[in-house]
Structure 1
Amino acid sequence: MLYMHDLWVNWFEGEENGYNVCHFHEWRKEDGIELVDQIPLLLIDEDLFEFIENDLQELPKSMLDDIHKRTYMKKNQERKTIDYAAVVTDGRSVLVFDTLGYSLPVKKSRLIPRQERLVFDMVEGKRPSIYELDNPTPKEYHILSLSPEKMAGLTRRERQLKQLLMMALDQLRHTDHPEEVGYWLTEWDPSQYELMKELTAEAAWQRLYYGTMEGWSKQHEELCGKLIKGQPFFETMWQSENQKSTKHLKSQN
């Protein structure tokens, strides 16, 4: 088995979508980078890599058996054994996971570019290990888990705010005041005003949802900021993301 040593990881916990496991250029100082002393490296096929990167389902038992207690983390000069963790690659992309003792990839991280290149060098010319998935459930994307295509090209901040917008829209769909939906649709697209009289609340919501799910713009951001006003939970998320992204930009300049 191949092993890597002294890896810097930036864990993203509970993320089922790979676009939320940020690449190195989007890491932030407050993320809490950790050092992995030793960890196994597995070359796997594209389907299994996609499954690990973009889902939170059970990993093949044979894979878990192969990597059991082969990872060590270093913290305060102490070496801690990790039950199930590995670096995986399909030869094109790289991901690190830690199951936290469970059988699914609860924590995920990317690698810094130099260590990514080392992964590709180490697996060059080798055949992937074959692990069979046991009846995986097909992945379904929805308003609270948009498909990668809907997040393509967005920055970390934009992805976070887009998810916040989708959460607010999901809440709006179940409002006790259907007229609110029409208001926000015309706020998003004033040209819909005349048509609003003929639309049901659900039809208006569908137009708003499908109109906002593509890309990200100043218009998206303005709608999100207005839609969450007066909702403490959403406002806290909005403020937190804006503060973090501002700090990140300042640290880069």
Structure 2
Amino acid sequence: MLVLNDVWVNWFEGEDKGYNVCPFFEWRKRDKIELLDTIPLLYIEKELYQYIENDLDDLPERLLMKIHNRAIKNGRAIEYAAVVTNGEGIIAFDTMGYRIPLKKSRLIPRHERRVYQMIRMINPMSFSMKKLRNQESNHIFSLSREAMLGLSRRERELKQLLMLALDQLREGKNLDEVHYWLTEWEPEQYQLIQGLSFQKAWDRLYQHIYHGWTIKHEQFCQQMIKGQPLFEQLWDKANQIDNDTQIKRIK
């Protein structure tokens, strides 16, 4: 079995979208960065790789048995942890003793290069699966990759915060309130907006927010969360950490 030694990982827990498992250049000082003594490396087929990267579901039994207690941290075995690649992307995972990839991490550039070198002359392994998703499951709290394309870590966090505010607006079912916020977004459409039902107004606002991210989105987010302590804390966290010095080099 292929093995990587002295591997830095930055665990993101409970993520079912690969875009939330940040690449090295987006790592922050306050992240959960750890050094693993050793971790097994598996070269797998593309479909299984996508399943691991963008899902939180049971891993193949044979894969789990293959990596059982093979990863080591501080001299102690980790029950199920590995680095997997399909030859195009790389992700590490730790099941925390369960059967699903609860913690996920990217690798530092030096280790990524090493992975591609190690698999250069071998073929991907095949593992039978009970099920594979035909398409990604997307909802307001877990947007599609298209909705996050090209955004920085800070922008993704703020967009997810804005979606939380939109969900709260939807749950309130207050027609005047949704009309107000939609008018804030497109004031030139005031007359049209006044004739919209709650659902049509909310759907229209959602579509505006869903696509892209601009300074207008950011200002709108700040307006919507004003006076809500939990949301304001999330706003402050995203913006405060964004000013931290990024990790430039890990030896």
**Same fold at TM > 0.5:** yes
Matched, 1:65 2:53: no
Kindly state the Cα deviation for residue 137 of structure 1 after the two structures are TM-superposed: 4.9
| CA deviation after TM superposition for structure 1 residue 52, in Å | 0.5
Structure 2 counterpart of 1:228, which letter? I
Structure 1 position 213 matched with structure 2 position 198: no
Query: How is 1:117-128 mapped onto 2 (pairs within 5 angstroms)?
Result: 117-128=113-124
Matched, 1:143 2:140: yes
Question: Is the 8 Å Cα contact of residues 24 and 108 (structure 2) preserved in structure 1?
Answer: yes
Residue 33 of structure 1 corresponds to 33
Residue 248 (structure 1) shift: 3.6
Determine helix, strand or coil for the equivalent of 2:77: strand
| Percent of matched pairs sharing the same residue | 52
Specify which of 125, 130, 141 is matched with residue 129 of structure 1. Answer: 125
The residue type paired with residue 71 of structure 1 is A
Conserved 8 A contact 1:26-1:156: yes
SS in structure 2 at match of 1:130: coil
3-state SS, counterpart of residue 193 of structure 2 = helix
Structure with the bigger RCO (C-alpha within 8 Å, sep 6+) is: 2
Query: How far has the Cα of 1:177 moved from its partner?
Result: 2.3
Tell me the distance in 2 between the aligned counterparts of 1:162 and 1:209. Answer: 12
Q: CA deviation at 1:229?
A: 1.2
1:88 matched residue in structure 2 = 84
CA distance in 1, matches of 2:246, 2:113: 26
In 2, Cα distance between the equivalents of 1:174 and 1:191? Answer: 26
Match of 1:18 in 2: 18
* Cα distance in 1 between the residues matched to 2:234 and 2:247: 20
What TM-score comes out, normalization by structure 2 length?
0.95
Matched to 2:143, the amino acid is: L
Match of 2:166 in 1: 169
Distance 1:248 1:21 in 2: 19
The aligned amino acid for 1:245 is D
- Runs of 4+ aligned residues of structure 1 deviating over 4 Å after TM superposition are 249-252
CA distance in 1, matches of 2:77, 2:221: 43
Question: How many Å separate the matches in 2 of 1:137 and 1:162?
Answer: 26
1:243 & 1:41 partners in 2: Cα distance?
35
Give the deviation of 1:64 after TM superposition: 0.4
**Matching residue of 1:154:** 151
Q: Which runs of 5+ in 1 are unaligned?
A: none
Do residues 180 (structure 1) and 177 (structure 2) align? yes
**Is contact 1:57-1:136 (8 Å) kept?**
no
Deviation at 1:251, TM superposition (A): 8.6
Structure 1 residue 43 displacement after superposition: 0.2
Task: Name the CA distance, whole Å, in 1 between partners of 2:100 and 2:150.
Answer: 28
Partners of 2:195 and 2:117 lie apart in 1 by 61
| Counterpart-to-counterpart distance in 2, 1:64 and 1:124 | 24
- Aligned partners of 1:236 and 1:99: how far apart in 2? 29
- Call closer, same or farther: CA 1:231–1:155 in 2, change over 3 Å: same
Matches of 1:89 and 1:251 in 2, distance apart?
A: 24
Work out the CA distance in 1 between the residues paired with 2:20 and 2:8.
Answer: 18
Query: Aligned partners of 2:247, 2:7: CA distance in 1, in Å?
Result: 26
CA positional deviation for 1:192: 2.0
What is the CA–CA distance in structure 2 between the aligned matches of 1:167 and 1:83, rounded to whole Å? 35
Q: Residues 70-106 of structure 1: CA distance to partner in whole angstroms, max 9, x if unpaired? A: 01012xxxx1210000000000111000000000000
Q: 1:110 and 2:109 equivalent?
A: no
CA distance 1:29–1:168, shift in 2 (3 Å): same
Q: CA deviation at 1:32?
A: 3.0
Provide the aligned C-alpha RMSD in A.
1.5
Residues 63-72 or 190-199, more deviating = 190-199
How many residues were matched structurally?
248
In structure 2, the partner of 1:42 is: 42
Q: Partner of 1:29: helix, strand, or coil?
A: coil
| Maintained 8 Å contact 1:40/1:87 | yes
Distance in 1, matches of 2:247 and 2:71, equals 35
Q: State the 1:247 CA deviation.
A: 1.9
